[in-house]
């Protein structure tokens, strides 16, 4: 787990990024099983909400969640641009409402959203080291899981061949 210590303005950006992420269909489904899982950003979203407005917000995230936050920050950057260009419209559910709540000036002037684009970009840049470490941890876990599968497969085969009396030759 990684402890994120977010300043108030960073917490707002991460919260907006979770709203963007959760607004995408299938965002909280496991890619292999297509079942809902608890490793996504819904838990981060729920933990951030009551803390918004505090000077510093601390939240523990798993490596997977950190990589999802990084992706959501990129997405929210694009959505802020789209929102400004489209005159205050967003195709992402709850995005515009959350943006207005966090940044009331965007309601009267959607173009202000362009001024906000720098926040998620800068936050992601500041988190780059932690994001790289999280990706490395995920890749290492995947390699370990694959090695365990290979080991189990080899063990299974060895059990079968030992019952058959070793290797079969003609």
> How many degrees, rounded to 5, is the angle at CA 56 between CA 53 and CA 58?
110
Check residue 87 and give left, alpha or beta (phi > 0: left; psi -120 to 50: alpha). left
pLDDT of residue 170: 47
**pTM value?**
0.80
The count of other CB atoms within 10 Å of the CB of residue 101 is 16
High-pLDDT (> 90) share of the chain, %: 62
Under 8 Å between Cβ of 69 and 120: no
157's tokens: 């085969």
pLDDT means per 10 residues, the chain with 170 residues, are 91 96 74 65 92 93 92 95 94 94 94 95 94 90 81 64 60
Tokens (6 digits) for 99 = 């943006």
What percentage of the chain reaches a pLDDT higher than 70?
A: 81
> Do the beta carbons of residue 71 and residue 79 sit within 8 Å?
no
Domain boundaries of the chain, sorted by first residue? 2-163
The confidence score (pLDDT) of residue 38 equals 65
């Amino acid at each position: 787990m990684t402890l994120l210590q977010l300043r108030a303005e960073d917490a707002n950006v991460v919260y907006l990024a979770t709203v963007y992420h959760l607004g995408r269909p299938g965002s909280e489904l496991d890619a292999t099983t297509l079942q809902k899982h608890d490793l996504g950003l819904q838990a981060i979203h729920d933990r951030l909400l009551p803390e918004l407005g505090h000077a510093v917000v601390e939240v523990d995230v798993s490596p997977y969640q950190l990589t999802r936050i990084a992706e959501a920050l990129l997405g929210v950057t694009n959505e802020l641009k789209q929102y400004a260009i489209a005159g205050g419209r967003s195709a992402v559910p709850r995005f515009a409402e959350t943006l207005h709540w966090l940044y009331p000036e965007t309601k009267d002037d959607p173009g202000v959203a362009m001024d906000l684009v720098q926040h998620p970009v800068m936050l992601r840049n500041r988190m780059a080291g932690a994001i790289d470490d999280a990706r490395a941890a995920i890749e290492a876990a995947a390699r370990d899981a694959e090695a365990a599968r290979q080991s189990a497969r080899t063990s299974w085969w060895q059990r079968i061949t030992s019952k058959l009396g070793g290797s079969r030759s003609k």
